[in-house]
Structure 1
């Protein structure tokens, strides 16, 4: 997966899945398209990463096929210039995927609509800010009176308790854990006094992320043949083996961030519209790379190809010297011999 806010992003509004989704692509390109389509949003989309995950093809095949998928209208890389409210700025490259084939005009309009989008990190980096639904304030406002009503109802119930009734206090998880240590090893039979004395230490263990099993294991592993003072040994182990405190993660407040500029980028390299002409999502060099291996789409069906030379006329299989034929026609027309003529 890529960093939060990066990686694959579905454009939305796509047609339902169907068998001919990528029938217009060559078999290998269609295979990559199906592979990418099934990746989760947020997955890294560099051709090297795709090649490392793909079971059949390497980096060169991945690069060329991803370029062809881009030319077919399924992929686009868009660089967005983010301006944050603290006046800091940065460029972020987003990868957008569409299972439905889109035209270059559709992608150009999609890029224009990204301009001025609110991409505040607090809501989710790179996505449009979700506005608060109407009526949310009313819900929040009515929550307090409802809570107060519950508290009043609970108070009434307390007043109705008979004076003779007494509530039984439930032991804490730490105390309960200490009382059950002897079930694992009888040499660590802790008295009620020991358990209450050690309860604060055990509670500290649990607050640091330890489990009751961790406490029991720390108190019973590697015991001597005879334990004369279980309470003292337990205190020593709980203090000396105390796990570290959990690091407190400071939550960074989200700052308002807006897309202030949008440019198209090449899907296979770092080039963008500032330095190169981007044609259908690729720069000229990467476009040439994709065209080197042959046509981008399926070849024309044989029914659309021209018939045999000569069309079945007499002499159709005869080999014709085109240069000699042209020269004879020029002489017949009274023209001077051509440049390549030897006569």
Structure 2
């Protein structure tokens, strides 16, 4: 919140919030407009504070976006002179940023603020602060960009941090960042009063089941068999893929001829020699 006498003031006679309130604005301006529209009265609206309140844009980008929102008719910065309090001297000024969800032209702004507006005070540029850049997680990035897909779900940096773990669980269960964004932004109601609570509810209620763990493939129930005769056996019993019988290791030496067989062979040899001499 801004200091007393400063900050956001809602302009009168605004239309009720609608999903397409900022659809004609560029994505950056639409995102920040949706965020500003949800801020309470008297909330700080300087570039430095708004840069810290959301995860996408730094001070310079926010400052440029505020200028564009002013040109589009959504805001005016005003300083007002107020009488000094009792015991005080000199002139006191308070600074407000009037915000209108409904875009207004210059004539409307002049008529609405007539009598209370003096030329805008130049806001001093806030010094840039050099900080280490920490790359956000994929889940945080998905949440931070929801407001670009639909301004109704513009989340602050604190919102993204609070919901980061839930969103990360979706990604861990196989959901791609784009699929997660589609689930969170699909079928939104006409008005989302609390983007953080709405996104948390969807992340919780629609959480997909754990990815099934692939069952280990059963070891094949197989047994080696002899390459030749196909007799089955354990590997150690079939060296070279052959059983003992087919490898010849169980065959003994050739049997010795009998004496009768020897005499028959000798007699046959003598007959052949006699025939050759005759």
TM-score (norm: length of structure 2): 0.41
TM-score (norm: length of structure 1): 0.34
Bigger Rg, which one: 2
- The higher relative CO (CA closer than 8 Å, separation ≥ 6) is in 1
